[in-house]
Structure 1
Amino acid sequence: MKFPMLELFKSKMAERYDCHFCKESLFGKKYVLRDENPYCVKCYESLYSNTCEECKNPIGCNSRDLSYKDRHWHDGCFHCFKCHRSLADKPFSTKDEQLLCTECYSNEYSSKCYECKKTIMPGSRKMEHNGNSWHETCFTCQRCQQPIGTKSFIPKDNNNYCVPCYEKQFALQCVHCKKPITTGGLTYHDQPWHKDCFLCTGCKEQLSGKRFTSRDDFPYCLNCYCNLYAKKCAECTTPISGLGGTKYISFEERHWHNDCFNCKKCLVSLVGRGFLTERDDILCPDCGKDI
Structure 2
Amino acid sequence: QIFCERHYLEKIRPRCAACDELIFAPEYLRELSQNWHMDHFVCTACSAPLAGTKYVLHEDRPHCVTCFEQQHSNVCDECQKPIGINCKDLSYKERHWHESCFVCRECKKSLLQQPFGSKHEQIYCGDCYDNLFGTRCDACSEVFKPGQRKLEYKGKQWHETCFLCSKCLVPIGTKSFVPKGEEIYCSECYEVKFATRCVKCCEVIIENGVMFKDEPWHKTCFTCNECKIELAGTSFLVRDEKAYCRECFGEKFSHKCTVCTKPIIGQQTTRFISFEELYWHTECFVCVDCKTRLEGRGFIRDGPDIICGDCAKIKLSAEIEA
Query: What is the TM-score normalised by the length of structure 2?
Result: 0.58
**Residues 1:204 and 2:171 are matched in the alignment:** yes
1:84–1:225 Cα change, 3 Å:
same
Structure 1 position 143, deviation (Å): 1.1
Question: Which residue identity does 2:50 align to in structure 1?
Answer: L
Q: 1:178 to 1:237 in 2, by over 3 A?
A: same
- 2:16 aligns with 52
RMSD: 3.9
Is it true that 1:263 corresponds to 2:247 in the alignment? no
Alpha-carbon distance in 2 for matches of 1:72, 1:195 = 69
Secondary structure class of the residue paired with 1:240: coil
Paired residue secondary structure (1:53): coil
Mind listing any 5+ residue stretches in structure 1 that lack a counterpart?
1-43
Q: How does 1:208-287 map to 2 (within 5 A)?
A: 211-214=177-180, 218-227=183-192, 229-233=194-198, 238-240=203-205, 248-251=209-212, 255-257=216-218, 259-260=219-220, 262-263=222-223, 265-270=228-233, 274-276=236-238, 283-287=244-248
Q: Is the 8 A contact 1:186 1:194 kept in 2?
A: no
- How far apart are the structure 2 equivalents of 1:59 and 1:162? 58
Alignment match, 2:318:
none
Partner of 1:108: 71
Bigger-Rg structure (1/2): 2
1:158-193 CA deviation, whole Å, 9 max, x = no partner? 3322121233344464354452236756477x9763
| 1:282 to 1:151, Cα distance in 2 relative to 1, 3 A | farther
Q: In the TM superposition, what is the alpha-carbon distance from 1:249 to its structure 2 partner?
A: 3.6
The number of residue pairs the alignment matches comes to 237
Q: CA deviation at 1:261?
A: 5.8
Aligned pairs for 1:10-25 within 5 A: none
The CA distance in 2 between the partners of 1:46 and 1:131, in whole Å, is: 46
Letter in 1 for 2:246: P
Secondary structure of the structure 2 residue equivalent to 1:77? coil
Residue aligning to 2:251: 290
How far apart are residue 80 of structure 1 and its match?
0.9
Query: Given the superposition, is the C-alpha separation of residues 282 and 76 from structure 1 closer, same or farther in structure 2, using an over 3 Å criterion?
Result: farther
Determine if the alignment matches structure 1 residue 94 to structure 2 residue 49.
no
Name 2:108's counterpart in structure 1: 145
For residue 247 of structure 2, what is the amino acid of its counterpart?
A: D
